Protein backbone atom coordinates (compact mmCIF):
# COMPACT_ATOMS: atom_id res chain seq x y z
CA UNK A 1 0.00 0.00 0.00
CA UNK A 2 1.22 3.50 -0.81
CA UNK A 3 0.45 6.94 0.57
CA UNK A 4 -2.55 8.75 -0.87
CA UNK A 5 -2.12 11.22 -3.68
CA UNK A 6 -4.27 14.23 -4.39
CA UNK A 7 -4.72 15.95 -7.73
CA UNK A 8 -4.68 19.71 -7.35
CA UNK A 9 -6.66 22.05 -9.66
CA UNK A 10 -3.53 22.88 -11.65
CA UNK A 11 -2.87 19.23 -12.34
CA UNK A 12 0.02 18.65 -9.93
CA UNK A 13 0.19 15.88 -7.37
CA UNK A 14 0.63 16.18 -3.62
CA UNK A 15 0.93 13.53 -0.95
CA UNK A 16 -1.94 12.98 1.46
CA UNK A 17 -2.04 11.34 4.88
CA UNK A 18 0.00 8.15 5.04
CA UNK A 19 -2.62 5.50 5.72
CA UNK A 20 0.02 2.77 5.88
CA UNK A 21 1.38 4.07 9.16
CA UNK A 22 0.57 1.85 12.11
CA UNK A 23 -1.89 3.11 14.66
CA UNK A 24 -1.11 2.35 18.29
CA UNK A 25 -3.71 1.45 20.90
CA UNK A 26 -3.92 3.33 24.22
CA UNK A 27 -2.37 0.32 25.94
CA UNK A 28 0.62 0.29 23.63
CA UNK A 29 1.27 3.99 24.10
CA UNK A 30 0.86 3.53 27.85
CA UNK A 31 3.60 0.88 27.95
CA UNK A 32 5.89 3.11 25.92
CA UNK A 33 5.65 5.96 28.45
CA UNK A 34 5.21 3.82 31.55
CA UNK A 35 1.78 5.16 32.45
CA UNK A 36 -1.80 3.90 32.75
CA UNK A 37 -3.84 3.64 29.52
CA UNK A 38 -6.36 6.06 31.00
CA UNK A 39 -3.59 8.62 31.23
CA UNK A 40 -2.93 8.35 27.51
CA UNK A 41 -6.57 9.08 26.81
CA UNK A 42 -6.38 12.09 29.10
CA UNK A 43 -3.44 13.34 27.02
CA UNK A 44 -5.70 13.16 23.99
CA UNK A 45 -8.52 14.97 25.77
CA UNK A 46 -6.21 17.78 26.86
CA UNK A 47 -4.67 18.10 23.42
CA UNK A 48 -1.20 16.78 24.25
CA UNK A 49 -1.45 14.00 21.69
CA UNK A 50 -3.28 13.98 18.38
CA UNK A 51 -5.63 11.00 18.18
CA UNK A 52 -7.58 9.13 15.55
CA UNK A 53 -11.07 7.92 16.40
CA UNK A 54 -12.57 4.62 15.40
CA UNK A 55 -16.23 4.67 14.29
CA UNK A 56 -17.12 3.54 17.82
CA UNK A 57 -15.24 6.43 19.43
CA UNK A 58 -12.18 4.52 20.60
CA UNK A 59 -8.84 6.27 20.23
CA UNK A 60 -5.77 5.26 18.22
CA UNK A 61 -2.43 7.08 18.04
CA UNK A 62 -0.10 7.61 15.12
CA UNK A 63 3.33 6.10 15.56
CA UNK A 64 4.99 9.23 14.18
CA UNK A 65 3.25 11.41 16.76
CA UNK A 66 4.46 9.17 19.58
CA UNK A 67 7.97 9.17 18.19
CA UNK A 68 7.93 12.95 18.09
CA UNK A 69 6.85 13.13 21.73
CA UNK A 70 9.59 10.72 22.77
CA UNK A 71 12.13 13.02 21.17
CA UNK A 72 10.94 15.92 23.28
CA UNK A 73 8.05 16.86 21.00
Interaction of residue 54 with DNA, rule CB under 7 A:
yes
Give me the 2-41 binding string for its own copies, x by CB under 8 A, dash otherwise: ----xxxx----x-xx-x--xxxx-xx--xxxxx---x--
Burial bucket for residue 65 (CB in 10 Å: 0-12, 13-18, 19+) = middle
Run of H or E including 52:
strand 52-53
Q: Which of 49, 28, 46 is nearest to 37 (CA)?
A: 28
Residues that bind its own copies (CB under 8 A): 6-9, 14, 16-17, 19, 22-25, 27-28, 31-35, 39, 43, 48-49, 52-56, 60, 63, 66-67, 69-70, 72-73
Amino acid sequence: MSPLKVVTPDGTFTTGPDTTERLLTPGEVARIFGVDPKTVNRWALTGRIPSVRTPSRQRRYRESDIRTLLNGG
